[in-house]
Amino acid sequence: MSETRPVPRRESPWGLPEGDNRQPKAHRCNDRAEDVIQLLEVSELILLLGFVVLFDWIVHFMSA
């Protein structure tokens, strides 16, 4: 389930304890969430472009 790609660690204000060499593992659910977020961002762009085209179409036919 988990991948072996490196995951950035956050530094604690108190630093890392001596001998703490645990490494977090990447989770596939995080990648899926990022995919959904990117899909929504693209959908917003497509929706905005659709509104621009619709507005242009309305302005074009109202002025004719």
Question: pLDDT by residue (tens digit) across 5-31?
Answer: 666 666 666 666 666 666 666 666 667
**What value does the mean pLDDT take over residues 48-64?**
85
Token pair in block for residue 55: 């507005």
> Can you give the pLDDT at residue 40?
74
**With 0-12 CB in 10 A as exposed, 13-18 as middle and 19+ as buried, what is 64?**
exposed
**What value does the mean pLDDT take over residues 31-36?**
77
Tell me the whole-structure pTM to 2 decimals: 0.34
pLDDT bucket at 54, cuts 50 / 70 / 90: confident
Assess whether pLDDT exceeds 80 at residue 57: yes
